[in-house]
Structure 1
Amino acid sequence: MTLQLGDTAPDFHADTTEGRIGFHDWLDGSWAVLFSHPKDFTPVCTTELGYLARIKPEFDRRAVKIIGLSVDHVDKHRDWATDIEQTQGVAPNYPVIGDSDFAVSKLYGMLPASTTGDPATRTPADNQTVRNVFVIGPDRKIKLILVYPMTTGRNFDEVLRVIDSLQLTANHKVATPVNWRQGDDVIIAGAVSNSEAKQIFGTWEEPKPYIRIVPQPV
Structure 2
Amino acid sequence: MKIFPAIDVLNQKVVRLYQGDYNQSTVFGEDPVAYAQNFEAQGAKYLHLVDLDGAKDGQQRYFEVAKQIAETTNLFVELGGGIRDEKAIKRCLDSGVSRVILGTIAQKDPEFTQKMLAKYQDKIAIGVDAREGKVAVEGWLETTETDAFTFCQQLAKWQAKTVIFTEISRDGTGQGLNIELYQKLLTIEGLEIIASGGVASMEDILALKAIGIHGVIVGKALYDQSLKLAEILKVVDENDS
TM-score normalized with structure 1 length: 0.34
Instruction: Compare the two structures and name the one with the higher helix fraction.
Output: 2
Q: If you compute each CA radius of gyration, which structure gives the higher value, 1 or 2?
A: 1
- The answer to which structure has the higher strand fraction is 2
State TM-score, norm by structure 2: 0.32
